[in-house]
Structure 1
Amino acid sequence: MTGSEKSTSPLRSLLREPLVHFLIAGFLVFLLSLWRGGGVDAESRTIHITEEKVARLSASWEQIWRRPPTPAEIDGLIRDYIKEEVYYREAKRLGLDEDDTVIRRRLRAKMEFLAKAQVENAEADEQTLQRWLDQHPERFATDMTYDFDQIYLGENGQGSAAILRNIASGADWRAMGKTISLPQALERASASDIARQFGDSFAQALSSAPLGEWTGPVNSGFGEHLVRVRARTASGKPTLASVRQRVENDWRVNGAKAREEEAYQSLLDAYTIKIAKP
């Protein structure tokens, strides 16, 4: 490894930190606020309405109403902006933004929105995506096989609660339910085979049913069933390259909460918390 590679390695590690991303985004929001004119001095008695500001007000109007504002409407937009700016500066001058629960909550909501935006825009490297694919192969497999048991309840699905209570008491599940020319138990049955025998909705229900627990009623082409999925095995596992976008979307959606909490923890770690309880 060369000297330049050694020096850039810590920098790359630093740039991957959620807190760094968060602070960079916050700085960009600050710059945007200044560009929009939000960073004015509350003590100033001069309000500048620049051509750029008028153009932004007009563009905002056009976005909403799908037409350019008339000269009279532009004057109205300017008057409304001046009124808002006057009230904003006077409120700041009186300190109305301090110790205000509503304002605190709105600022918190903006920070949470900023953090969420960073989370949603997070990019995963190939190792992360491959690990996600390995951890959740059933979500991307070309086919699945199932070991499961089923109790046929009939067309209306009545009696499921009583059967579940009897099973919980130790009764033999094989002696329960109504007779039907379908197997009570299947081993290593593919999703496509199950769909042919029981119907698409039944096969789809097995893909999300809890393992090892009786659940239902589950609808099939014959009526209602109680089902217990004993095993769910991915077959025909795809390569990451063939399903990369699906894996990345799934990783982003399902891992968003954890990454949001991680970003908050990074901020929290920079604070010293002192709590005095009565």
Structure 2
Amino acid sequence: MTWIVRILREPLVHFVAIGGLVFALYYATRPDQSDPDRIVISEAAVQMLANQFESTWRRPPTSAELAGIVDSYVKEEILVREAMKLSMDQNDTVIRRRLAQKMEFLIDSIATSPAPTEEELRAYFQDNIQRFTAAPRMSFEQVYLGETATAEAVLGAVERLEDGTDPASVSRSTMLPVSVDDAREPEIDGTFGRGFFAALVDAEPGAWMGPVASGYGVHAVRLVEVDVPPAPEFEAVQAAVEAEWRQSKADELAERRFDQLRGSYQVELPELAAPGS
């Protein structure tokens, strides 16, 4: 009996059960296509159309409106069937992508996760604590030394700056900001190039240093301040942790469901050659 209870608590079992209900509802409301020239609209389909109208207009449809909705649905079904007879649904990239997107939506809609325990949330918080910690900020001054600079030139520039020389007299002409105040990594790297923030974050504030490479060349930099916020308490971010935990579990269940679907197909691929080989 214990193993039965354990299986019933498994999220994947819930996923498959809910998925089955969703697919059953889908097939219950779609027109009967066993006879390609016979269109049967079920009561469930009519109710679905009425519910869609009510969710849009905040009132149920009148008899005339409902008749018009059903008539439009029948017209759409006729046009779809005729298009499929002409194979218009085949080899159409837009249709393929739309159908794949709808299947993704369907899988995502049933990939719901059970309520987490506090123990699970705390463990997830500890494993991903950086995701819930505010990003560091920094302030600094920089002097642009050109696209290339020798070690001797950089050392000379740093010594002059340390001696109090006006940075403007040391810097080469540039449109880059001379100073940056209280900025995060995306802002800094967006201005100077990827990796510029990382090159400064562990430096000792107060002294000029170099060379520091950017996407434009070589710099001498004086770090003014780095503000690294402490990690938050779990209770302060519990709601955000739970939201992210649920999303991660939903993504995991959706991926597992897709793996199940893929396992039911035999996929044959041609030998793939790398471009240019």
Pairwise same-fold verdict (TM > 0.5): yes
Amino acid of the structure 2 residue aligned with 1:34: Y
TM (norm. structure 2) is 0.55
What is the aligned partner in structure 2 of residue 31 from structure 1?
24
Amino acid of the structure 1 residue aligned with 2:25: L
Q: Which runs of 5+ in 1 are unaligned?
A: 154-158, 180-198, 216-225
What is the aligned partner in structure 2 of residue 78 from structure 1?
70
Amino acid of the structure 2 residue aligned with 1:77: I
> C-alpha separation between the residues in 1 aligned to 2:153 and 2:88?
64
Q: Quick one: structure 1 residues 164 and 234, their matched pair in 2 at CA, closer, same or farther if it must change by over 3 Å?
A: farther
Work out which of the residue numbers 113, 116, 140 in structure 2 matches 1:151. Answer: 140
> C-alpha separation between the residues in 1 aligned to 2:103 and 2:198?
42
- TM-fit CA distance, 1:248: 1.8
Q: Which runs of 5+ in 2 are unaligned?
A: 165-179, 189-194, 202-220, 273-277
Q: Quick one: structure 1 residues 144 and 47, their matched pair in 2 at CA, closer, same or farther if it must change by over 3 Å?
A: closer
What is the aligned partner in structure 1 of residue 104 from structure 2?
112
2:11 and 2:113 in contact (8 A); partners too? no
Q: Quick one: structure 1 residues 228 and 35, their matched pair in 2 at CA, closer, same or farther if it must change by over 3 Å?
A: farther
> C-alpha separation between the residues in 1 aligned to 2:80 and 2:89?
13
Amino acid of the structure 2 residue aligned with 1:151: F
What is the aligned partner in structure 2 of residue 274 from structure 1?
268
What is the aligned partner in structure 2 of residue 238 from structure 1?
233
> C-alpha separation between the residues in 1 aligned to 2:238 and 2:43?
47
Amino acid of the structure 2 residue aligned with 1:205: R
Work out which of the residue numbers 221, 243, 252 in structure 2 matches 1:249. Answer: 243
- TM-fit CA distance, 1:58: 4.0
SS in structure 1 opposite 2:269?
A: coil
Q: Quick one: structure 1 residues 207 and 49, their matched pair in 2 at CA, closer, same or farther if it must change by over 3 Å?
A: closer
1:145 and 1:235 in contact (8 A); partners too? no
Q: Quick one: structure 1 residues 266 and 109, their matched pair in 2 at CA, closer, same or farther if it must change by over 3 Å?
A: same
- TM-fit CA distance, 1:169: 9.4
Structure 2 matches for 1:123-162, cutoff 5 A? 123=114, 124-140=116-132, 150-153=139-142, 162=145
Amino acid of the structure 1 residue aligned with 2:184: A
- TM-fit CA distance, 1:48: 4.5
What is the aligned partner in structure 2 of residue 205 from structure 1?
184
Structure 2 matches for 1:46-61, cutoff 5 A? 46-48=38-40, 53-61=45-53
- TM-fit CA distance, 1:174: 6.0
What is the aligned partner in structure 1 of residue 113 from structure 2?
122
1:16 matched to 2:11? The reply is yes
More off after superposition, 106-115 vs 254-263: 254-263
Aligned sequence identity (%):
25
- TM-fit CA distance, 1:35: 3.2
Q: Quick one: structure 1 residues 234 and 272, their matched pair in 2 at CA, closer, same or farther if it must change by over 3 Å?
A: farther
Q: Quick one: structure 1 residues 107 and 152, their matched pair in 2 at CA, closer, same or farther if it must change by over 3 Å?
A: same
- TM-fit CA distance, 1:43: 0.8
TM (norm. structure 1) is 0.55
Q: Quick one: structure 1 residues 171 and 259, their matched pair in 2 at CA, closer, same or farther if it must change by over 3 Å?
A: farther
Deviations 1:84-120 (A, max 9, x none): 233344455x37377443443332212222233345x
Amino acid of the structure 1 residue aligned with 2:26: S
> C-alpha separation between the residues in 2 aligned to 1:250 and 1:73?
43
1:151 and 1:177 in contact (8 A); partners too? no
